[in-house]
Structure 1
Amino acid sequence: MTAILRLESRKRVRGSIVLVVVFALLSALYFSMFPGIQEEMEVFEDAFPAFLFDLFGIEALDTIEGFIASEIYSFFWSLLVAVYFAYIGAGMIAGDVQERRMDLTLSNPVSRESVVLQKVAALWVPLVALNVGVPVIVYVGALAIGESFDPVALAMVHLLGVPYLLVCAGIGLVASVLVDRARTARTTALSVVFALWLVEAVSRLDPAFEWIGALTPSRYYDETAILVREEYAFLDAGILTVAFLALVGLAVLIFTRRDI
């Protein structure tokens, strides 16, 4: 009953480890830069136009929390890791359909609903690897340069980020059940996630268009507010969780009605 889950989980281990290693290398670079940037913060802030700070939600760059939130979490986590989860989701079904593995899978006594749900459940591997490995790296890196994070705030930025990453995976999953080619599904999912992230960022620049950002998942995950201001938006995380469940439900509905 859990053969697909076990197989998919094993497939996610290598990619998750590689991503954690990449994050460790990037973190080492940014932590090594912080002391120098902190000393020249006024010059650094004057070098960039003000709208860039609004675009990326940058604030309190002279603190380790603000610096890491803007340099790592606002881009690497909210965009690149989100794109990674969309990529995974987009290959879940389309990849097997394209390679004719799905025919073999469905020839066994397993329902289509179970296939989708077990593949989605395998996301626990990258979620655990990233949300355990990354905060440890960040916390130790801060200590190494004589700084420190509030461990609660650091834990919350990851905990509240889980629903956001799941929504991105859900977008990929819907794309995966709509098309038969994995490359097309992945391109579609990555484009949608990036476009939504960009729309939300741009919508912050003009109050007249701020409402548009409410339609994007990144509006409900503010890593800067969590790390810098210690504001924990549990309601927003709940909204993202509901959105993820809705996307999975839609994907299951589409897949069970498809002719493969």
Structure 2
Amino acid sequence: MTAILRIESRNRVRGSVILLAVFAVLSALYFSMFPGVQEEMDVFEEAFPGFMFELFGIEELHTIEGFIAAEIYSFFWILLVGIYFAYVSAGLIAGDIQDRSMDLILSNPVSRESVVLQKLGALWVPLVALNVGVALIVYVSALAIGESFNPVALAMVHLLSVPYLLVCAGIGLVFSVGIDRVRSARAAALGAVIVLWLVEGVSSLDPDYEWIGAVAPSRYYDQTAILVHEEYALLDAGVLLVAFLGLVVLAVALFVRRDI
């Protein structure tokens, strides 16, 4: 009953390890920069226009919390990891349809609903590996340069990112069941995540258009508020979980009804 889940989980290990290694290198780079940058923070802040700080939600750059929230979480985590989950999810179903292996899978006593849910469930591997691994890397790296994070805030910045990453995965899943070709499904999913991120960032610059960003999942995950101000928006996380469940229901319904 769980064969697909086990196989897909094993297939996610290599990609998770590679991505974790990339974050380890990035973390080492940024933490090594912080002591020097901290001394010149006034010059550093003046070098960037004010709208850049609003666009990326940058605050308190002179603190380790504000610096890492801006340099690692506001871009690499929200955008690139979000893209990774959308990219992987977009190939979950479309890949098997394109290479005709879906016919073989469905010839077994397994429902279409189970196929979708087991393939999606395998994303627990990168979800756990990245959140646990990066949190440990960030915490240890801070100690190595004589700084420290509030461990609760650091844990919450990762815990509350899970609903956001799940929504990105849900977006990819919908495209995966709706588009037969893997490349097209992945391109659509990547484009959707990037456009939604840009919409949220640009709309936040003007109060008259801020409401437009309500459709973007990144609106409901504020890494700076969590790390710098220790504000935990649990209601926003709930909104993202509801959105994720809605995307999964939509994807399952589309897959059950489509002809393969």
Q: TM-score, normalised by structure 2?
A: 1.00
- CA deviations 1:4-45 (Å, max 9, x no partner) are 000000000000000000000000000011011100011001
Question: Percent of aligned pairs with the same residue?
Answer: 77
Shift of 1:111: 0.4
Structure-to-structure mapping, 1:165-180, within 5 angstroms: 165-180=165-180
Distance, in Å, in 1 between the alignment partners of 2:159 and 2:258 is 35
SS at match of 2:12: helix
- Aligned equivalents of 2:190, 2:201: Cα separation in 1: 17
Tell me which residue corresponds to 1:98: 98
Amino acid at match of 2:230: E
Alignment of 1:188-207 (within 5 A): 188-207=188-207
Q: 1:55 — aligned with what?
A: 55
**What's the secondary structure of 1:229's corresponding residue?**
coil
Q: Which residue of 2 aligns with 1:226?
A: 226
- Report the RMSD for the aligned CA atoms in angstroms: 0.4
Distance 2:149 2:34 in 1: 14
Inter-partner Cα distance in structure 2 for 1:5 and 1:70: 35
CA deviation vs aligned residue, 1:82-128 (integer Å, no higher than 9, x gap): 00000011000000000111000000000000000001110110011
- What amino acid maps onto 2:134 in structure 1? V
Residue in 2 aligned with 1:235? 235
Paired residue secondary structure (1:149): coil
Displacement, 1:204? 1.1
Cα distance in 1, alignment partners of residues 42 and 132 from structure 2? 34
Aligned equivalents of 1:39 and 1:87: distance in 2?
Answer: 39
**Partner Cα distance (1:43, 1:239) in 2:** 39
- CA offset digits 1:211-255 (Å, max 9, x no partner): 011111000000000000000000000000010000000000000
- Taking the aligned partners of 1:238 and 1:47, their CA distance within structure 2 comes to 37
Q: What is residue 5 of structure 1 aligned with on the other side?
A: 5
Aligned position for 1:83: 83
Structure 2: 5+ residue runs without aligned partners? none
Residue 127 of structure 1 corresponds to which residue in structure 2? 127
Alignment-derived partner of residue 214 in structure 2: 214
Structure 1 runs (4+) deviating above 4 angstroms are none
Match for residue 183 of structure 1? 183
* CA distance in 1 between partners of 2:126 and 2:209 (Å): 35
Secondary structure in 2 matching 1:110: coil
Unmatched runs of 5 consecutive residues or more in structure 1: none
For 1:70 and 1:201, the matched residues in 2 are separated by 14
Q: Give the 3-state SS of the residue equivalent to 1:211 in structure 2.
A: helix
Distance in 2 separating the partners of 1:7 and 1:110: 15
TM-score, L = length of structure 1: 1.00
Count of aligned positions: 260
1:250 correspondence with 2:250: yes
Query: For residue 112 of structure 1, what is the amino acid of its counterpart?
Result: R
The CA distance in 2 between the partners of 1:50 and 1:257, in whole Å, is 49
| Aligned residue type for 1:248 | V
